[in-house]
Amino acid sequence: MKNAAIYARVSTPDQHVETQLYDLRDLAAKRGYTVIREFEDRGVLGSKSKRFGLDAMLSSARRREFDVLLVVAFDRIARSTKNFLEIVDELNELGIEFVSAREAIDTSGPMGRMFITLVGSIAELERSLITERIRAGMRRARFEGQRLGRAPLNIDHGALVRDRLAGMSLTSVGKKYGVSRASVVRFVREAQRRKVAAAA
């Protein structure tokens, strides 16, 4: 009998992780797995937020505390295709099977392993195509004489520096000239540096 862990995630506070947990417990029972750990992240956007449940699951996996990981669907565990492949690859290296209920993927079987290889190939092709499109766009822009990178800020640096040195707050100066507080600090420092260099 294999020991299993469950990972569940919901993106918004109004969603209920219990639905995923119920379905995965049922799946584990049907397959004869013993669920020893359940990990969850609530109200967490996969692409942006820190996921403490996922981190705890991976730490448990590295300690070989379970044999199988059960998830409801790919998008519950991964931020992106690349992230998904990294997680599944690490689980495979640790000898842990990965089972996704919605996609009916089980990496313990030949079809599951073939699917993972196929997804990896598609992800690699996607990265190559994106890179080539970016390079082609940059070549076309250069050919057409377009400027690459950020356009210079069209502001009166001297007036900005004078306002700041006269006591105007960073926020006020930033709003007046349409720049960030960090840019105000940088412009003032550069002006003071030039003044010191000129006096030397």
Residue numbers annotated as active site? 11
- In this structure, what are the phi and psi dihedrals at residue 56, rounded to the nearest 5 degrees? -65, -40
Q: Where are the beta strands (DSSP E) in 10-131?
A: 34-41, 68-71, 97-100, 105-106
Write the single-letter amino acid at 16.
Answer: H
Give the whole-angstrom CA distance, residue 2 versus residue 66: 8
Cα distance between residue 2 and residue 13, in whole Å: 33
C-beta neighbour count of 172 within 10 angstroms = 13
Closest CA to 174 of 192, 152, 155, 148: 155
Q: What is the DSSP string of 103-171?
A: TTEETTSHHHHHHHHHHHHHHHHHHHHHHHHHHHHHHHHHHTTPPPSPPPP-S-HHHHHHHHHTT--HH
* CA separation for the pair 98, 107 (Å, rounded): 5
